[in-house]
Amino acid sequence: MERFGVRIISLILLLMLTKNLSSNAYGASMKDEEALKEGQNGKENSLSNYVATGVMEDDDWQMVQKKGNQFMVNDKPFYVNGFNTYWLMVFAADESTRGKVTEVFKQASSVGMTVCRTWAFNDGQWRALQKSPSVYDEEVFKALDFVASEAKKYKIRLILSLVNNWEAYGGKPQYVKWGNAAGLNLSSDDDFFSHPTLRSYYKAHVKTVLNRVNTFTNITYKEDPTIFAWELMNEPRCTSDSKGDKLQDWIQEMAFHVKKIDPKHLVEVGLEGFYGPSSPQRTQFNPNTYAQQVGTDFIRNHLVLGVDFASVHIYADSWISQQIADTHLPFIKSWMEAHIEDAENYLGMPVIFAEFGVSSKDPGYNSTYRDTVISTVYSLILNSTKKGGSGAGSLLWQFFPDGTDNMDDGYAIVLSKSPSTSSIIQRQSTRLALFNSLCNTKCNWSCKKKKLFEKILCHDEL
């Protein structure tokens, strides 16, 4: 299977029968399978009617929208199982590595993943997209065009991040360097958030990217349904203002700026999810006391007009202890449940756990533990999904094809080297695809048939 747009029922049967999975991997007996086939008889309960409502054809490739605490495509729920591969644009800029971009999407599609988060920035660095303020390398821009074009071929949508908090790929430190080169005499990287000149640099970059016409598809980025959402910044922090006013003001201005140019796409901030001064009763869920001093505020930041959904990252091995510890899994559970609850009760929006993983460099690491972490995150997403909650999906950090070991930060998942992890990912994709289809308001299947699929979806072994 090369594309996730294949018929849902074919995916189900393939996963039931494949030799690489146990015969009961989906909790469905042969009687269940026979019952599914039996549903082919009769117009109202026909399998073809179900497939017709579950297939993602080209005509259905519409913008992702938000309705309450759920994502929707064509008035159908869209729960996310996805991944991060941040370096796609840089690899696409070189003919010798461009094929790896196609491999990423092809392999991700083969296990049913539907969303990729990647960088739409590289500021002042090697193979820079933006060489200096508002000066772009057209060949690198064409590489980003290629990324979007390839993603569409494999029915994968993109969350495009517009700048980095960190020095990698330029980020806010590069903007400060540009400001100093222009004679601004800046002293802190956090001046990125407050200085009007640096704000103007960022806003110009946003305008350029959103108005870009893809040279492969001839579609303007702000009109392209392949783009799931714009992310204002990867992991913004403003440690010079622990109260969070400086970052809050920046988010308000930039969310408005993006929406003014592109009112069709969703917008998210890119936060790690730390609770701040506006919700002191929730800081107990932070991984450490430092987390509430970095100038971010999960609830306050996401109440900004123009922000459509919440983002949260999960790194117990960075925030609590690098050594794998018994405290990690309970933290993941409480961290996710708190944010899902707040997204439902305070924000009224979906939340995506936009980065999570385990590093192979961690003391005590083994692949079984990584599988346990992934399964834990997936299970918590499903618990919310089954209730129609705000837990809208998750994105692994990070997904690599073969032959890209030089880019591995320890978190890379290579399917050919990780068959057990691959199976876990595929099962989650199948469950979410089933749920999205079950909740299709146009579905004509009988309640009996729906209950059968719910049995498969909700089986304890899944």
Judged on CB neighbours under 10 Å (0-12, 13-18, 19+), 326 is exposed
CB 287 within 8 A of CB 316: yes
- Cα 41 off chain centre by: 39
**Active-site residue identified among 150, 231, 268, 355:** 355
Task: Write out the two tokens for 153.
Answer: 């071929």
**Active-site residue identified among 150, 235, 268, 344:** 235
Look up 235 and say whether it is catalytic: yes
Q: Nearest to residue 203, comparing CAs of 235, 173, 175?
A: 175
> What is the C-alpha separation between 8 and 10, in angstroms, rounded?
5
Q: Nearest to residue 335, comparing CAs of 320, 347, 321?
A: 320
Look up 355 and say whether it is catalytic: yes
Please tell me whether residue 398 adopts helix, strand or coil conformation.
Answer: coil
Contacts of 246 (CB under 8 A, 6+ apart): 190, 193, 194, 238, 240, 295
- Residues with a catalytic annotation lie at 235, 355
